[in-house]
Amino acid sequence: MDKNILHEKIYYYENVIPDFENFDKVLKELNNDWEPWTSSNDKDFIYGKTKTFGSDSDDEKMSYVYDSVIDAFYKVSKDYAESLGDYDEPRLFPTFNIKRYNTGTFMGSHFDQLDGDKTLRYSLVMYLNDDCEGGEISFKIVDHDGIIQKPHIDPDYDVALVNKNFDVGIKPKANSIIIFPASAPYFHTAHLVKTGFKYMVPGHWIHNNMGFHSQEAM
CB-based contacts of 41: which residues, under 8 Å, 6+ apart? none
- Put residue 104 in one of left, alpha, beta given phi > 0 → left and psi -120 to 50 → alpha: left
The answer on pLDDT for 147 being more than 70 is no
pLDDT at 213 over 70: no
The CA distance from 180 to 106, in Å, is 19
Q: Phi then psi for 45, rounded to 5 degrees?
A: -90, 125
Q: What is the pLDDT of residue 215?
A: 40
pLDDT category at 135 given cuts 50, 70, 90 is: very high
Cβ(83)–Cβ(180) below 8 Å: no
pLDDT of residue 216: 38
Cα dist. 47→12, 86, 100, 106, 178 in Å? 24, 35, 8, 8, 21
More confident residue, 39 or 27: 27
3-class DSSP state of 142: coil
| CATH code for residues 2-37+46-208 | 2.60.120.620
Least confident of 14-18, 65-69, 113-117: 113-117
Say whether pLDDT at 116 is over 90.
no
Q: Average pLDDT of the chain?
A: 88
Instruction: Give mean pLDDT, residues 145-164.
Output: 84
User: What average pLDDT does the segment 116-132 reach?
Assistant: 88
The predicted pLDDT at position 145 comes to: 58
Q: Backbone phi, then psi, for 20, in 5-degree steps?
A: -65, -30
Cis peptide before 155 (omega within 30 of 0): no
Q: Where are the domains of the chain?
A: 2-37+46-208
pLDDT band at 217; cut points 50, 70, 90: very low
pLDDT bin (cut points 50, 70, 90) of residue 208 is low
Beta strands in 40-127 (DSSP E): 42-53, 96-101, 107-110, 120-127
Name the phi and psi angles at 85, rounded to 5.
80, 20
